[in-house]
Structure 1
Amino acid sequence: MAVIGGEVREELREKVKEAYRVTLPSLFTSQIFGLFGGTFLGKYFETIRTQFPGLLVVLPGMMGLRGNVFGSMASRFSTMLYLGDLEPSLRDRKVLKEIVLRMLISLIPIFLLWAIGVATGIKKNAFDVLLIVVTSTILVSFILGYFTSFVTIFAFRRGTDPDSVAAPLVASMGDFLTVPSLVLFILLIEKSPEAFRLFNYSMIVLFAVVAAVSRVRKAEFLELKQVFLTITGLALLSTVSGSLLAKFSGVIQASVILSFIYPALLSSFGNYGSIIAAKTSTKLHLGEIEGFLCPKAFTDILALFTTAPVIGLTKVLIGGALMALTTGASVPRTVYWIVLTYPFMALFIMLYSYAISYFLFQKNIDPDHVAIPLISNNSDIFGTIYVVLMAKLMVGA
């Protein structure tokens, strides 16, 4: 027992070093991406809330969907690379096919999210909102697909575990692209509706051409049936986050800083969960986890937990600075609630992620296909609830 305990402690020390050497830089980089998107959201939050309210219902789903779809792709590529099923090159035909497939399974959930928003009574500028989300999905998915492939393959070729860096970078790149693209399309519609519709048609043509070049077959799409059903179901579930965001948009805007760091908060919670899910999935496939309470399985969680206070504090500091530069508003003193509670929320997400990944694998369900999307979606819901609670604490509502 003493020998086993010593091995676990030694592994934990190594994992902490890896967390600070490899994962923390990627988490911090992804945080910068998220805060960049949050700056757009914070600055134009009032415009979105009053002129395009349907986007608030769709926004968490769009953010989560891209993290789900391409985070799952990164985890799948990582496993394939370790098993030798994928060449570590962007020229491998499987890369383009996988990107096109992920674009296909992204469009239907987006339409359903929009339809739910309209059905619940948010009809103002509804058709423009539909055009915005469809165009954004095609454009961002194309860019994000190749970014995901590059990050995963590059990390593998450099001898770095892709599971440690891909998930946070992919999810945050999705946030980096999502909110600014929505805002830019809003500005384009307001300036020239004809130009936006022309751009919309161009994106549809681009999608058709890429799909034809990739030669995706029906059988290959059906292989991802489980992923598609999971993604669609979780996208519908994300309306919980969207409804909360829309309902409490007033109190969130009143806190000011939370409207700026909202994407970064959701992204970081999803990052922590996705990293644990990806690592757990790989270890389960390799037979390195013998039971649910296997001590070594929790070393990754404990190591990553040590980085959470750093991420939480810098998120508030950088987000507050961006808020001050953009709006001139000062950071409220009650922001300490975020600094104090953030690490424990991240810990909860990681423990939840490990449990979900483990039990899915026991049911012969590949965590690469289901765990990443499920955890990313649930993290958005938990994160939105967390943001609402923080907003109420900060403004005294």
Structure 2
Amino acid sequence: MDHKYIELNDISTRNDANDITNYEEHFLLPDNHSVGSQDHEEISLTVKIPNEDDIHETSSVSEFTPVLSGTEGHSLLNKSNKDSLDIHISSPIQQNIKNKITFKSLFSLDFELTVEALPSLIISVIGLTISGWLLNIVMGWEVYENISELIVLIPILLNLKGNLEMNLASRLSTESNLGHLDTYEMGKQIIIGNMVVLQAQAFIVGSISGLFAWFMGGMSNGSFLALDKTIVLVISSIFSASICSFILGTMVSVIIIYSKKLRINPDNVATPLAASMGDLVTLLVLSVCGDILIRLKGTIFNDILLVLLFALIPYWCYLALKNKYVHDVLFAGWVPILSSLVITSIAGIVFEKYMDSYKGIAVIMPVLNGIAGNIGSLYVSRLSTDLHVGVVNNYIQTFITLFWIHLPTEWSFLILIEIFNLGDTNVNLLFIIVYTLMSVLLMTIILLFAHKATHWFWNHHFDPDNYCLPTLTALSDVLGTIFLVYQYYLLFLMGDKSNYIEPNH
């Protein structure tokens, strides 16, 4: 089925060397056509151009962007007079495509999506597994024993930091598929601007996460952390957020640029890789920073460092506001990001309560939550790109493909646990069955939510790249943590007590 979309990108008029006005229009065809309608509709758009001799096309439609069928070799831009361009589109319109669900369609996979996404998901599982293994180790470090709020901070910070990187990956994937990264100067400004925004967001998110973990930990424990330990908590949070944003932002930018050159859709690879590596790097930096700073607890060095970090927040915001491509991004999406902070804190409290009750829960939690969040984010990224470029795809096939490829991803993780005996977890047949059922339930909920939420945000004039991902990953973290606890509880009721830790009296 042909997709109906045409793009006029970056047509510029130049009055002088310093005066450049960019015109960009995306033509979305009306959605009021019935399925199978063969009627033709003509759309006329006139773009006023001050001087036709100064028109320059600076970028083209991405190879991943469908164009109007039947227009190969024909010019869509017709000069009607010297001051305007008329664009005429005449083609069958099919916007409301309804895909019928049949038994056969439940096993019909998108081959391109599977080939491109499955390897990146497997790689993400390795990263998430290492994150879980690292989390299981650092739980015994002095800093976590002295500052239990760091345990509450872990899922909060991982979620919020993951959101920033996945939002960046989704935004840049959309920009790439729209052709905005094809020109060197424009691409450089967009990428640098996004890196600056990422630093501003990281400093703000790190500060809020540290303070919120302090508050939630105090409410849960019945007493609040002393000031010197609170400073260690907040500095560790900001440092880890900032350092990881730079590392992951660079990695995401490189992945998206080279994905385009290798003719791979960045929507299929960038988001899961960014999320999985983000968890690993954030956890490592958080633990190392906390371990160093706890030794400097109560010194003036920590006090000065905290003041300097807070002072850098307006500086990063100022730099972001100066970039015309990203200044709006700085203000977009904060409501869902901060809302996800509150939601994810539930996962942190649940994890802190049960981490000493079951074997391997610290290893499994990041992976179970991460796989669901990565696949859901991949789906949101593809949907968002299609909505931006005005494309209608077979989303049932995409949904089914992502659902099925999550199973080998989960099972490869269980194989890693068994081979390396991670967390002393006993992975028997009953464990595999119950874990698979819980992961299937979680994945179904996340994919359904991703589909509905992306279209809801788009229909209410919010960019899904900025608004949908934080809510989705927060939901994944909370449901995944709760389902994991219930999994262990069900195994206990079924008589499998091999992963239960007897409480010390």
Contact 1:23–1:164 (Cα < 8 Å) also in 2 = yes
Mapping for residues 131-280 of structure 1, pairs under 5 Å? 131-189=235-293, 204=309, 211=316, 216-217=321-322, 220-251=326-357, 255-280=358-383
Contact 2:320–2:330 (Cα < 8 Å) also in 1 = no
Deviates more, 1:109-118 or 1:132-141: 109-118
Q: TM-score, normalised by structure 1?
A: 0.84
Deviations 1:185-233 (A, max 9, x none): 2333456668995996899599789959967528754443122333233
Q: Name the SS of the counterpart of 2:269 in structure 1.
A: helix
Specify whether residues 323 and 107 from structure 1 end up closer, same or farther in structure 2 by C-alpha distance, changes over 3 A only: farther
Deviations 1:60-104 (A, max 9, x none): 121111221121111111111222223376970221221111221
Aligned partner of 1:30 in structure 2 is 124
Question: Which consecutive residues of structure 1, in runs of 5 or more, have no partner in the other structure?
Answer: none
Q: Percent identity?
A: 21
The structural deviation recorded for 1:105 is 1.7
Aligned partner of 2:188 in structure 1 is 92
Contact 1:75–1:368 (Cα < 8 Å) also in 2 = yes
Q: For residues 146 and 419 of structure 2, what CA distance do their matches in structure 1 show?
A: 27
Contact 1:105–1:228 (Cα < 8 Å) also in 2 = no
Q: For residues 159 and 198 of structure 1, what CA distance do their matches in structure 2 show?
A: 50
Alignment-mate amino acid for residue 412 of structure 2: T
Aligned partner of 2:136 in structure 1 is 42
Specify whether residues 203 and 142 from structure 1 end up closer, same or farther in structure 2 by C-alpha distance, changes over 3 A only: farther
Correspondence 1:379 to 2:476:
yes
Alignment-mate amino acid for residue 317 of structure 1: I
Aligned partner of 1:352 in structure 2 is 449
Q: Name the SS of the counterpart of 2:391 in structure 1.
A: coil
Q: Which has the larger radius of gyration?
A: 2
Q: For residues 243 and 56 of structure 1, what CA distance do their matches in structure 2 show?
A: 9
Considering fraction of residues, name the structure with more strand: 2
Aligned partner of 2:68 in structure 1 is none
Aligned partner of 2:173 in structure 1 is 78
Deviations 1:253-278 (A, max 9, x none): xx222211222222111101101111
Correspondence 1:319 to 2:423:
no
Q: For residues 314 and 262 of structure 2, what CA distance do their matches in structure 1 show?
A: 33
Specify whether residues 330 and 319 from structure 1 end up closer, same or farther in structure 2 by C-alpha distance, changes over 3 A only: closer
Contact 2:125–2:371 (Cα < 8 Å) also in 1 = yes
Alignment-mate amino acid for residue 281 of structure 2: L
Q: What is the Cα-based RMSD across aligned positions, in Å? A: 3.6
Contact 2:165–2:248 (Cα < 8 Å) also in 1 = yes
Contact 1:106–1:137 (Cα < 8 Å) also in 2 = yes
Contact 2:320–2:327 (Cα < 8 Å) also in 1 = no
Contact 1:49–1:249 (Cα < 8 Å) also in 2 = no
The structural deviation recorded for 1:377 is 1.9
Contact 1:260–1:323 (Cα < 8 Å) also in 2 = no
Deviations 1:25-82 (A, max 9, x none): 0000011111111111011224465322111222112111122112111111111122
Deviations 1:330-380 (A, max 9, x none): 525353221343233222211211111112112222211211222122211
Aligned partner (choices 166, 190, 208) of residue 112 of structure 1: 208
Contact 1:88–1:156 (Cα < 8 Å) also in 2 = no
Contact 1:269–1:379 (Cα < 8 Å) also in 2 = yes
Q: For residues 319 and 88 of structure 1, what CA distance do their matches in structure 2 show?
A: 45
* Number of residue pairs matched by the alignment: 385
Contact 2:149–2:214 (Cα < 8 Å) also in 1 = yes
Specify whether residues 10 and 148 from structure 1 end up closer, same or farther in structure 2 by C-alpha distance, changes over 3 A only: farther
Alignment-mate amino acid for residue 234 of structure 1: S
Deviates more, 1:185-194 or 1:196-205: 196-205
Aligned partner (choices 49, 61, 64) of residue 156 of structure 2: 61
Q: For residues 36 and 202 of structure 1, what CA distance do their matches in structure 2 show?
A: 34
Deviates more, 1:123-132 or 1:362-371: 123-132
Mapping for residues 305-344 of structure 1, pairs under 5 Å? 305-324=403-422, 329=424, 331-333=426-428, 334-336=430-432, 337-344=434-441
Question: Which consecutive residues of structure 2, in runs of 5 or more, have no partner in the other structure?
Answer: 1-34, 37-97, 219-223, 494-499, 501-505
Q: For residues 301 and 421 of structure 2, what CA distance do their matches in structure 1 show?
A: 29
Aligned partner of 1:16 in structure 2 is 110
Deviates more, 1:79-88 or 1:127-136: 79-88
Alignment-mate amino acid for residue 286 of structure 2: L
Q: For residues 72 and 297 of structure 1, what CA distance do their matches in structure 2 show?
A: 21
Contact 2:317–2:330 (Cα < 8 Å) also in 1 = no
Higher relative contact order (CA 8 A, sep 6+): 1
Contact 2:161–2:205 (Cα < 8 Å) also in 1 = no
Q: For residues 150 and 100 of structure 1, what CA distance do their matches in structure 2 show?
A: 16
Contact 1:100–1:210 (Cα < 8 Å) also in 2 = no
Contact 1:257–1:323 (Cα < 8 Å) also in 2 = no
Contact 2:231–2:306 (Cα < 8 Å) also in 1 = no
Aligned partner of 1:368 in structure 2 is 465
Q: For residues 414 and 121 of structure 2, what CA distance do their matches in structure 1 show?
A: 15
Contact 2:235–2:306 (Cα < 8 Å) also in 1 = no
Q: Name the SS of the counterpart of 1:307 in structure 2.
A: helix
Q: For residues 199 and 24 of structure 1, what CA distance do their matches in structure 2 show?
A: 46
The structural deviation recorded for 1:8 is 9.8
Alignment-mate amino acid for residue 128 of structure 2: G
Contact 2:133–2:363 (Cα < 8 Å) also in 1 = yes
Specify whether residues 203 and 74 from structure 1 end up closer, same or farther in structure 2 by C-alpha distance, changes over 3 A only: farther
Correspondence 1:51 to 2:146:
yes
Contact 1:140–1:174 (Cα < 8 Å) also in 2 = yes
The structural deviation recorded for 1:172 is 0.5
The structural deviation recorded for 1:181 is 1.5
Deviations 1:293-338 (A, max 9, x none): x8x21111101112122111111221343444xx6x3525353221
Q: For residues 5 and 113 of structure 1, what CA distance do their matches in structure 2 show?
A: 43
Considering fraction of residues, name the structure with more helix: 1
Contact 2:135–2:363 (Cα < 8 Å) also in 1 = yes
